[in-house]
Amino acid sequence: MSNLLTYLPEFVEALRIQLEADDVRWGDTWEEYPIEGQEERTMARYTDYYAQFKNGGVPMPWLKVAGGAFICWVRELRAELIRKTIGEDI
């Protein structure tokens, strides 16, 4: 079995290209959504992707799945950095 890290540079590059395309289409709208409820919103989107796959044969958009997870991670990371900087809960 190949080491998954072998594929990481190619994946990161493909994700970067996907995020750039998403930025052109959506801009910074991802910042308009709060951390609260992001798990439910994200899982609902993933469920929609799966329904399109199961019912219509649409391939799973794995880079969009990864991009959604990345957005959630960035929101949480930024919140943590802000808490550490100001010493408060946000």
Tell me, what's the pLDDT at 8? 95
User: How many domains, the chain?
Assistant: 1
Q: What is the pLDDT of residue 80?
A: 87
> Where does residue 48 fall: left (phi above 0), alpha (psi -120 to 50 degrees), or beta otherwise?
alpha
pLDDT-derived band of residue 1, with 50, 70 and 90 as boundaries?
low
Q: What is the SS3 assignment for 77?
A: helix
Q: How far is CA 77 from the centre of its chain?
A: 13
Identify the CA nearest to 49 among candidates 35, 33, 36, 66.
66
**What is the extent of the structural domain holding 19?**
4-86
pLDDT at 89: 56
Residue 88 has pLDDT above 80, yes or no: no
pLDDT in tens, 32-64: 999 999 999 999 999 999 999 999 999 999 999
Say how far apart CA 56 and CA 49 lie, in whole Å: 10
